[in-house]
Amino acid sequence: MSAQHDHSRCRELLGSLSDYVDGDLEEALCREIEAHMAECENCRIVVDTLRKTVLLYHVLPSDPPLPEAVEQRLFKRLELEHIIPSRSER
């Protein structure tokens, strides 16, 4: 951060940045963060990369189905293996 920049404001705003990227922050504080970012390149990058961090995890592929062997052992533990046939038997 530049020598002229007041770091204390960066630290104060840091705790609100997740709410900011989630759109959960009150309007006045949003404007304050945006005004700060206009003057602070480091905070602009932190907000941008924090948002990208969240988005990257949102685009992870959805959960795969339960592996069949795991499912069969679970049914056995639950004493339900007689209820439905395994996928390979259908």
Partner 1 sequence: MPEAISDLDILLSNEEALVAALHRGDPLGCTALVKRFGGQMYAVALRIVDDPDDAEEVLQDAFVTACRKMHTFEGRSKLSTWLYRVTTNAALMHLRKRRDDTVSLDEPQELDEGDVLPRQLGDWTVDPSQEALTGELRQVLEQAVRELPASLRAAFVLRDIQGLSTEEAAEALGITPGAVKVRLHRARLALRERLAGYLSEQPQPIRA
Q: Which of 64, 85, 88, 89 contacts partner 1 by CB under 8 A? A: 64
Per-residue interface string for the shown chain with partner 1, residues 21-60, x marking contact by CB under 8 A = ---------------------x--xx-xxx-xxxxxxxxx
CB of 63 vs partner 1, minimal distance in Å:
4
User: For residues 31 and 53, which CB has a smaller minimum distance to partner 1 in the complex?
Assistant: 53
User: Residue 67: exposed, middle, or buried by beta-carbon count in 10 A (0-12, 13-18, 19+)?
Assistant: exposed
Sign of the torsion formed by the C-alpha atoms of 4, 11, 8 and 51 = positive
Query: 10-26 burial, b for 16+ CB within 10 Å, e for fewer?
Result: eeebeebbeebbeeebe
Does 90 contact partner 1 by CB under 8 A? no
User: For residues 35 and 74, which CB has a smaller minimum distance to partner 1 in the complex?
Assistant: 74
